[in-house]
Amino acid sequence: MMNSVRLKQLAICCVATGSIFAIASHSALAHTRLEIPVVVEGTTNGHAQVGKVINQVVISHGCPDIAPGTQRQATYGTSVVFPNAVSYSPVIGINSGSGTIYSAKPASDFYSPLAGIGLIIRSGGPWRPHNVKVDPLGNVDGFWAGGDYYDQTISTPVNVPFYTHAMTINSKSCARSVTFVLAIADFCTIAVPSTTAKDHEVLYWSPIPNFSGVPGSPFGTPAGDPARKIPIGPAYSKYDGYQDVAHTIPGDGWNSPATLTVTRNLAKNPLPAGCDGNGGAGDDVYVYPSADQINKELPVWSKPDQTGTNYWQ
């Protein structure tokens, strides 16, 4: 069982220090990922509720300690955002076999629903304080949870249960898969705002749409990182993640986001005639949340619509 050190009442604590929470997942690379990263369109897994799929964000480790070679810090919380194509304009890329290329086609050409993809399960999670995130129309775009320090150096990953909508791929599209790229922030302290936070305080698993044709790309940092093929360039959002206070060196989770891939049910939803992507197997579609959505919804507020008490931004 994970060692939990209960803090003061969350709201009081956060108002006093001006900070907050985040969400995450797991993988063989020990990063924040989804427990189930691939699902077939229209299916329901794990329970009898129609139209929902049970999943978990798996936070595999905390933030690195400041002293090299020392154990990682405990995780305090998480914030998760799924792409929304109703109130925002996601960045969409299509890979037909020769690399991913930006597409200006509307999201409705590829999948539905266009929002309301991820919803936290309100019981059984590691953190009692939590809430959903909604857009101006009330569509649920994600969630946050936090309020305890979990020492993962002596225990297991932190699993945050949530539902995803049973997505459907547009029957008229040539998509064989649609991958939703998430924006996630895992918090190890509530004392540092995003403007100065580095990996030691907040680990961002940031979506960076650096593929051909994306307006404003290539995105990068002032210093870049040739070893990781991260260019010198402008930030994508306010929450890309950095190793340093000055925000010049890309962080550990820069362009290393968690993803949810929905595959086409070819038996019930065959490809239309004439689809020649990937040798006739269909196109792979990638959906990134817009920078505007990330900037507005990744911060943590007491109310779902980004109002009320601001805990962290």
Q: What is the pLDDT of residues 46-104, one digit of tens each?
A: 555 667 888 999 999 999 887 777 778 899 999 999 999 999 999 999 999 999 999 99
Question: What's the pLDDT at 151?
Answer: 86
48: left (phi over 0), alpha (psi -120 to 50) or beta: alpha
Question: Beta-carbon neighbour count of residue 144 at 10 Å?
Answer: 31
Instruction: Give the mean pLDDT of the chain.
Output: 88
Q: What share of the chain is helix, strand, coil (3-state, %, to 5)?
A: 10, 35, 60
Q: Where are the domains of the chain?
A: 3-304
52 in Cβ contact with 39 (< 8 Å): no
Topology (CATH) of 3-304 = Immunoglobulin-like (2.60.40)
Question: What's the pLDDT at 122?
Answer: 75
* Beta strands 100-103; 168-169: pairing state: unpaired
258 in Cβ contact with 23 (< 8 Å): no
The C-alpha R_g of the chain, in whole angstroms, comes to 19
For 226-262, the pLDDT digits (tens) are: 999 999 999 999 999 999 999 999 999 999 999 999 9
Place of tokens 């197997």: 281
Is this model's pTM higher than 0.85 or not? Answer: yes
Question: What's the pLDDT at 29?
Answer: 47
Structure tokens at 214: 């994306």
- Per-residue pLDDT at 12 exceeds 50: no
- CA 114 → CA 87, 138, 242, distances in Å? 9, 13, 31
Reference 142, options 196, 185, 198; nearest CA is 185
Structure tokens at 41: 């369109």
